[in-house]
Amino acid sequence: MADKSETLLEIRGLGKSFSIATGLFSQPLELKALQDISFSIKKGETLGIVGESGCGKSTLGRCILQLIEPDQGQVLWLGQDLMKLSGEEMRKRRQDLQIIFQDPLASLNPRMTVGEIIADPLRTLRPELGRDQRRAKVVKMMEAVGLLPEMINRYPHEFSGGQAQRIGIARALITEPKLIVCDEPVSALDVSIQAQILNLLADLKDEFGLTLIFISHNLSVVRHVSDRILVLYLGRIVELATGNEIYDDPKHPYTKALLTAVPIPDPKLARQRSIDALRGEIPSPISQPSGCTFRTRCRYAKPLCAEVRPPLETIGGDRLVACHRWQEIEVPEEAMVEA
């Protein structure tokens, strides 16, 4: 039986590009969505992945699940490279690897009942189960996510956003997976409902022994669910550390800017806080800056940053950072986000 120190997933040098058509007779442009991504995740861990829109978070999640085929690198699941599996072999692995989508209503088939939606993975991945067995599992899973069993014959349009996301969670859990990729699962929900869904995911993680990858652009959301946090910028890892290290002592200027941009509920403290806001817009992934891709928005940038791409280096324990000037970055105490 696997213990909590077991590495479930290991990503090595993952890369993904997309070809963008610009005209009928023009050469397509290359959009580099992911570049040289490497990390691992252990059994029972929650890894948060944060960054602005366009940084490659969702692409990374889909590459891990082989919903998008990476161009290079390895996706090792319990030591087995998923990129080398045949279609049938990968289909069998789907039972262990599931996803919760961002928009709960858009991810549900409006023509199917709740019972049919939740049971759908079982029909594909557990064909040996009979109709009554599938229904029993669906009822049990509905209760686990806080849905009444008598709702089993209702349709998605009869549910609120929070209830619809509970349906999506039940569908992901029905095959008893080991890893779930949560792709911004609360970003489309009201703040009060977000807290309910986050608490539900935490409870389900403990109950079912899950390992989670939690994707979000909101650092305040990721903080309360993640053991470690990976910060992406233009398809590259710029920092990887524990949640406490990220929030108490961010090393990369991009992490610092994301952190100090998190809203504070107290207006007086918010006005007093020193904000190191992000400058300008994120560059196009089609035409990325030379050297450090964050340098065009970084107040710490020097000529070296335009000439040499900073390597992703280990700076203590398992902590990683890609910045030439990380030792010079300080975060004022008043900029910290309250727990």
Note the pLDDT of residue 336.
44
Reported pTM: 0.90
Alpha carbon distance 132, 143 (integer Å): 17
CB of 227 within 8 A of CB of 47?
A: yes
Note the pLDDT of residue 339.
34
CATH fold for domain 7-19+29-96+177-250 = Rossmann fold (3.40.50)
Q: Which DSSP symbol is given to 138? A: H
- Residues 233-255 have pLDDT tens digits of 999 999 999 999 998 889 999 99
Q: Which DSSP symbol is given to 157? A: G
Q: Where are the domains of the chain?
A: 7-19+29-96+177-250
Alpha carbon distance 233, 132 (integer Å): 48
- Residues 149-197 have pLDDT tens digits of 999 999 999 999 999 999 999 999 999 999 999 999 998 888 889 999 9
Alpha carbon distance 188, 263 (integer Å): 18
Among 207, 210, 231, residue whose Cα is nearest residue 219 = 231
Give strand pairing partners of 321.
239, 313
Note the pLDDT of residue 316.
80
Residue stretches of the chain with pLDDT short of 70: 1-4, 261-277, 330-339
What is the percentage of the chain residues whose pLDDT exceeds 70?
91
Note the pLDDT of residue 267.
62
Classify burial at 271, counting beta carbons within 10 Å of its beta carbon; exposed 0-12, middle 13-18, buried 19 or more. exposed
CB of 261 within 8 A of CB of 278?
A: yes
